[in-house]
């Protein structure tokens, strides 16, 4: 603005004018306005109301025997429910927390020790670990083994080996009765 031929009225001693102020103010409003206008476009890509509404799944556990595991769908993702044996619970409790990548004691990861409920998605890149079916490899820690990049989880679903950074997530769930659980 300093190079206009006649100084605008109200020029301050250091050459700043009201026009400078107007220019900055208008630019700021323009930038903020554009950002606000873009937000609906971006937010339209986030989960829609009906996707958000599908947020709970109820499961009847009566038919799952000790040592068995079932997979149910919750929010389009598999949820692992394993009826753990006494040996598996014991193994999960015995682990020294200091040797874990994502240290969590077993009793913080279950509500009832015999029922281990986990989101069945590898925390590395989202594959589904194997170990639910009787013939599946369970990795060297007796839990789950992810075939994509070789992560191994223990009988509490904690990461023990491989590239995954975190334990298998525990979803929010409530036991409605002794043999029925609501996930979500």
Partner 1 sequence: MSGQKFDNKIIQWVDDRLPIFSVLKHSAVEYPTPKNLNYWWNFGSLAGFMLVVMLLTGIFLAMNYAANTAIAFGVVEHIMRDVNYGWLLRYLHMNGASFFFICVYIHIFRGLYYGSYKAPRELLWGLGLVIYLLMMGTAFMGYVLPWGQMSFWGATVITNLFSAFPVVGDYIVTLLWGGFSVDNPTLNRFYALHFLLPIVICALVFLHLVALHTTKSNNPLGIDVKGPQDTIPFHPYYTIKDLFGIGVLLLIYLSVVFFDPNLFGDPDNYVPANPMVTPPHIKPEWYFLPFYAILRAIPDKLGGVVAMFGAIIILFFLPWIDSSKVRSAKFRPIFKQVFWIFLVVCLVLGYCGSQPPEGQIVLVGRVATAAYFLFFPLLWVLGKLEKPKPLPQSIAAPVLKGASAGHAAQPMEKA
Question: What tokens appear for 109 in the block?
Answer: 């990861």
Of 95 and 120, the one with the shorter C-beta distance to partner 1 is: 120
Q: Residue 24, Cα to own-chain centre: how many angstroms? A: 42
> Which span (10-18, 60-68, 85-93, 125-133) binds partner 1, by CB under 8 A?
125-133
Answer yes or no: 149 catalytic: yes
Candidate residues 4, 73, 174, 180; the one interacting with partner 1 per rule CB under 8 A:
73
Per rule CB under 8 A, is residue 164 in the interface with partner 1?
yes
> Which span (13-21, 59-67, 82-90, 147-155) binds partner 1, by CB under 8 A?
147-155
Per rule CB under 8 A, is residue 125 in the interface with partner 1?
yes
- Find the shortest distance in angstroms from Cβ 114 to partner 1: 24
- Find the shortest distance in angstroms from Cβ 124 to partner 1: 6
Per rule CB under 8 A, is residue 75 in the interface with partner 1?
yes
- Find the shortest distance in angstroms from Cβ 56 to partner 1: 13
Q: How many angstroms separate the CA atoms of 68 and 84, rounded?
A: 7
DSSP per residue, the chain: -TTSSSPPTT--TTS--HHHHHHHHHHHHHHHHHHHHHHHHHHTTSPPHHHHH---EEEE-TT--TT-EEEEEETTEEEEEEE--HHHHHHHHHS-GGG-SS---GGGS-SBTTEEEEE-S-TTT-PPPB-SSTTS--TTTEEEE-TTT--EEETT--EEESS--SPPPPPPEEEEETTEEEE-
> Which span (24-32, 60-68, 81-89, 158-166) binds partner 1, by CB under 8 A?
158-166
Per rule CB under 8 A, is residue 149 in the interface with partner 1?
yes
The contact set with partner 1 (CB under 8 A) reads 42, 45-48, 51, 71, 73, 75-78, 124-128, 130, 147-150, 163-165
The catalytic residues are: 149
């Amino acid at each position: 603005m300093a190079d206009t031929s006649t100084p605008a009225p109200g020029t301050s001693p250091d050459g700043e004018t009201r026009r400078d102020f107007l220019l900055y103010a208008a630019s700021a409003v323009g930038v903020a306005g554009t950002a606000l206008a873009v937000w609906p476009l971006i937010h339209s890509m986030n989960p829609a109301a009906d996707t958000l509404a599908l947020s709970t799944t109820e499961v009847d556990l009566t038919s799952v025997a000790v040592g068995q595991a079932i997979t149910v769908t919750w929010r389009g993702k598999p949820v692992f429910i394993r009826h753990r044996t006494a040996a598996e619970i014991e193994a999960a409790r015995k682990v020294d927390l200091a040797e874990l990548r994502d240290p969590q004691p077993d009793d913080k990861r279950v509500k009832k020790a015999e029922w281990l409920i986990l989101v069945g998605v590898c925390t590395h890149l989202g594959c589904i670990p194997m170990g639910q079916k009787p013939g599946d490899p369970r990795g060297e820690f007796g839990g789950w083994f992810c075939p994509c990049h070789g992560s191994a989880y223990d009988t509490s679903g904690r990461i023990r080996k491989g590239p995954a950074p975190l334990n298998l997530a525990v979803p929010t769930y409530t036991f409605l009765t002794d043999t029925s659980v609501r996930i979500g």
